[in-house]
């Protein structure tokens, strides 16, 4: 009889692997949220500002995970990031039954975003098992492993490593060895910031703890857009459950923005469509320009942790700011997407061929695109030099 598999020890090596996975998990949300943001016709809507603020916090969460990994002697790997969208599940084994891809702003997509960011207390009320592979459970597993290996973590931080601790004025947690300060507590503070801001607020409210200025969780901000009204505690007070959730979004009306009907990105990054498009040269140029900027941003972020220490702050700053630089940065994404890519319409005769071109993906394409209206290209977030990643098992639950 075959012996049952033995549990993987959650030691220092496991923590390093899990933190690298956390970096990839945070990176994986950026193309999803940015694709929705860049489909907005006007870029000063409440929806645009909400999405932008969430994206910036996801960047902070990625950076915190990278600092935690660097602190214990690991080497954050960012420039090879490559999640092939659409995907079932997210890095780390989170939400394995959720199929999500790059698509325009819609209530269906907002529900996916809410699913990704569901607070832990709501998951329990949905009767989801404690061991269900959600993002909050994933991070709490890392937190517990840090506590269980506290002495090894302290020793690793004291020994140091080759990667930088990155600082920027965006709320990063840094971990360095100081005799009088416990690095374990600093690492736990980093995990707490990630959990409270986005991936599962621990309180029984959708407003985060006072440590973060009573701001709303990512879940609440997506829910406001989905329900079309701001968060407001009901009076008299009622228990927040999945069934009563809509009653907590009866505040000031949140208008629905004008959305560009971008085609959800198939797994080949529009290759079959572009091959048939009479405007293929111009479309390809603009798609590749965005991909190059995305690639440059990942490379610059990787350099913040693994390049010369004296340039690390400058590198992470430029990777976000860019603005016409060489290489371009994250802020250049908006122009490259909105002013270039989304102005290219997919010819109607090609749209009519989508069922034949993508028989296995057509259901996904029609779910997240209105195929009865004019259809436009959207950014595809391809990391140009990144090799196709070999399957890597998630840290054992």
Query: What b/e string do you get for 4-30 counting C-beta neighbours within 10 Å, with b at 16 or more?
Result: eeeeeebebebbbbbbbbbbbbbbbbb
| Model pLDDT, residue 381 | 96
pLDDT band for 328, please (50, 70, 90 cuts). Answer: low
Distance CA 183, CA 282 (A): 52
Is residue 260 within 8 A of residue 321, CB to CB? The reply is: no
Stated pTM of the model: 0.90
| Per-residue CA distances from 317 to 66, 291, 295, 314 (Å) | 15, 20, 16, 5
Distance CA 317, CA 169 (A): 9
Is residue 302 within 8 A of residue 321, CB to CB? The reply is: no
**CATH fold label, 12-248:** Ferritin (1.20.1260)
Q: Are strands 375-376 and 94-100 parallel, antiparallel or unpaired?
A: unpaired
Distance CA 325, CA 160 (A): 33
pLDDT band for 176, please (50, 70, 90 cuts). Answer: confident
Domain boundaries, the chain: 12-248, 271-376
| Model pLDDT, residue 395 | 52
Q: Which two tokens stand for residue 283?
A: 């479309």
Distance CA 371, CA 265 (A): 13
| Per-residue CA distances from 188 to 14, 57, 193 (Å) | 16, 18, 9
| Model pLDDT, residue 72 | 97
Q: Which two tokens stand for residue 371?
A: 């195929």
- Mean pLDDT, rounded, for 355-379: 98
For 293-325, how does the pLDDT look when each residue is reduced to its tens digit (9 = 90+)?
A: 999 899 889 999 999 888 777 677 766 665 555
| Per-residue CA distances from 227 to 172, 248, 259 (Å) | 32, 10, 17
For 235-245, how does the pLDDT look when each residue is reduced to its tens digit (9 = 90+)?
A: 998 888 888 88
pLDDT band for 130, please (50, 70, 90 cuts). Answer: very low
Strand partners, 216: 207
Distance CA 141, CA 19 (A): 11
Distance CA 178, CA 236 (A): 49
Distance CA 263, CA 375 (A): 6
- The residues, ordered by sequence, that sit 6+ positions from 168 with a Cβ below 8 Å of its Cβ are 63, 313, 316, 317
Task: Determine how many CB atoms are found less than 10 A away from the CB of residue 282.
Answer: 13
Question: Pseudo-torsion of CA 391, 95, 287, 302, nearest 10°?
Answer: -60
């Amino acid at each position: 009889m075959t012996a049952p598999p033995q549990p993987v020890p959650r030691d220092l090596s496991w923590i390093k692997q899990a933190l690298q996975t956390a970096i990839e998990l945070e990176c994986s949300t950026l193309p999803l949220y940015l694709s929705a943001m860049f489909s907005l016709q006007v870029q000063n809507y409440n929806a645009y500002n909400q999405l932008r603020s969430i994206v910036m916090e996801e960047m902070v969460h990625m950076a915190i995970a990278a600092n935690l990994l660097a602190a214990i002697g690991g080497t954050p790997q960012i420039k090879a990031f490559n999640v092939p969208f659409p995907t079932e599940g997210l890095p780390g084994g989170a939400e394995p039954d959720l199929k999500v891809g790059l698509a325009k702003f819609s209530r269906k997509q907002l529900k996916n975003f809410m699913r990704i960011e569901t607070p832990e207390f709501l998951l329990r009320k949905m009767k989801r098992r404690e061991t269900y592979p959600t993002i909050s459970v994933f991070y709490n597993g890392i937190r517990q492993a840090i506590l269980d290996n506290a002495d090894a973590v302290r020793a690793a931080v004291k020994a140091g490593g080759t990667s930088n601790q990155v600082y920027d004025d965006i709320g990063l947690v840094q971990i360095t060895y100081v005799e009088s300060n416990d690095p374990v507590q600093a690492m736990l503070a980093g995990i707490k910031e990630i959990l409270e801001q986005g991936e599962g607020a621990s309180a029984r409210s959708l407003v985060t703890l006072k440590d973060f200025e009573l701001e709303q969780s990512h879940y609440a901000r997506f829910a406001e857009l989905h329900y079309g009204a701001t968060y407001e505690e009901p009076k008299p007070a009622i228990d927040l459950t999945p069934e009563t959730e809509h009653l907590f979004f009866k505040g000031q009306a949140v208008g629905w923005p004008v959305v560009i009907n971008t085609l959800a990105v198939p797994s080949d990054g529009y290759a079959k469509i572009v091959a048939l498009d009479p405007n293929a040269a111009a479309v390809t140029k603009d798609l590749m320009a965005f991909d190059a900027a995305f690639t440059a941003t990942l490379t610059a972020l990787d350099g913040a942790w693994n390049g010369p220490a004296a340039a690390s702050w400058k590198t992470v700053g430029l990777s976000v700011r860019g603005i016409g630089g060489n290489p371009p940065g994250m802020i250049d994404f908006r122009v490259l997407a909105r002013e270039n890519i989304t102005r290219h319409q997919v010819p109607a005769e090609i749209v009519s061929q989508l069922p034949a071109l993508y028989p296995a993906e057509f259901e996904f394409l029609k779910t997240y695109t209105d195929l009865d209206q004019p259809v436009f290209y959207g950014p595809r977030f391809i990391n140009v030099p990144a090799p196709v990643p070999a399957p890597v098992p998630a840290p054992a639950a």
